[in-house]
Amino acid sequence: MLARDNQSTALQWLGKQLFNREDPAAFFDPLLERVNPMWIQEYTPARVEQILQETSDTKTFVLKPARRWQGFEAGQHVNICIEIDGIRRNRTFSLSSSPILWQTQRLISLTIKRLPGGLVTNWLHDHLDVGAVLGLGEAFGDFTVPDPARPVLFIAGGSGITPVLSQLETMAAQDYRAPVSLLYYVRTSEDVIAGEKLEALAARYPALSLSIIPTHDEASPRYLSDGDLAKVPGLNGRQIFLCGPKGLMDLAGELLQSRGVRERDIHCTFFSAPQANLENQALGGQVQFAQSNIEVGSEGDANLLEIAEAAGLTPRHGCRMGICHQCSCRKTSGTVINRLTGQKSGPGEENVQLCVSVPQGPVSIDV
């Protein structure tokens, strides 16, 4: 075994010397892509097998990843990689299918809503066809199936239903018997994502209580209310999972707190990153990108990823929300503030996430 490991290390070193890259196997990707895109080594390729129109602005893309993909847990996210106008773009989406579909058919699904002005979501809706191949990262995230011994409340808004779908299908298949309630808020009755699937789940899964609530079907908007929570039996003994727009999540947090729900029982995943109030902080400074030999000044609360991109650099990144850690790199000196938590770093060497780190004074980064 030791000899094999040494041989592998030697080949890796030789490949790096010959091709000047960390992943020498990917040197042949341009040729492999012409022969069979599913042979690419730089990322896990996934072929589009089916496209389903869920609503006027939401599609489900059923994908077949290469067999080397390692699978996922219900409720997790995945990064995808596509090329738009010659530039590779990475974005993070929740998996909407159950892991059982992957285990039995080697398929997964991503349910993606078109965002007004969104570069990647609009491109996927307008240009991604059956048979196309995109790049897939490994799954990550801890918004996963809850403790089967305790009842659960899911509160979802709009396309926030996607990871909840994955969880509910998995829980139904595993005969999760504790009571499960879903409050699903949509703008109108036409905006319900996977409505037939949810109704079918509720019909075959006796533990599930399903409430789909349009907020704008009537003249006066109807949002999540304390009355909705009052109808959930044993609310304070439930695990609570929140997923959706920040406004809904903030309102849910306030109402749950007013009802005495413990913070440790509330689990959230966001479509936009929650941000700390940094208004009273002195922000900005000179940023040195050491490997690129570039130094630029910054002002205000621009994060290191934005500063790097404005300087013409293209550092690796994924979600841009502090979730996936793909943009993590080494800070060699200086202080940054975490845009999510407000926490200030030490002045020395440490790993930071570019997408949520705001410089406070001079900073040097290994990019």
In words, the CATH class of domain 152-270 is: alpha beta
Helices (H), the chain: 2-19, 29-35, 99-105, 119-127, 161-173, 195-204, 226-230, 246-258, 304-310
Q: Identify the burial level of 196 via C-beta atoms within 10 angstroms of its C-beta, where 0-12 means exposed, 13-18 middle and 19 or more buried.
A: exposed
Predicted pLDDT at 301: 83
Do 197 and 227 form a contact (C-beta atoms < 8 A)?
no
What's the one-letter identity of residue 254? E
Question: Other C-beta atoms within 10 Å of 351: how many?
Answer: 11
Do 213 and 184 form a contact (C-beta atoms < 8 A)?
yes
Helices (H), 144-245: 161-173, 195-204, 226-230
Question: Other C-beta atoms within 10 Å of 17: how many?
Answer: 9
Nearest to 148 by CA among 133, 129, 128, 170: 170
Torsion of CA 210, 205, 235, 220, to 10 degrees: 0
Predicted pLDDT at 276: 64
Predicted pLDDT at 255: 96
78: its two tokens: 């995945």
Predicted pLDDT at 148: 85
Please tell me the CATH code under which domain 2-136 is placed.
2.40.30.10
Q: Per CATH, the architecture of 284-365 is what?
A: Roll (3.10)
Predicted pLDDT at 86: 83
Ranges of each domain in the chain: 2-136, 152-270, 284-365
Predicted pLDDT at 29: 47
Q: Tens place of pLDDT for every residue, the chain, 367 residues?
A: 444 455 545 545 445 444 444 444 444 444 444 444 544 555 689 999 999 999 999 999 999 999 889 999 999 999 898 888 888 788 889 999 999 999 999 999 999 999 888 889 999 999 999 999 999 988 988 889 888 889 999 999 999 999 999 999 999 998 888 999 999 999 999 999 999 999 999 999 999 999 999 999 988 899 999 999 999 999 999 999 999 988 899 899 999 999 999 989 999 875 555 566 677 788 888 999 999 999 998 888 888 998 988 888 888 877 777 777 778 889 999 999 988 878 888 888 999 999 889 999 999 999 9
Residues near 244 by Cβ (< 8 Å), separated by ≥ 6?
155, 156, 157, 158, 159, 160, 185, 271
Reported as type and span, the H/E element at residue 337 is strand 328-338
Nearest to 51 by CA among 63, 38, 60, 43: 60
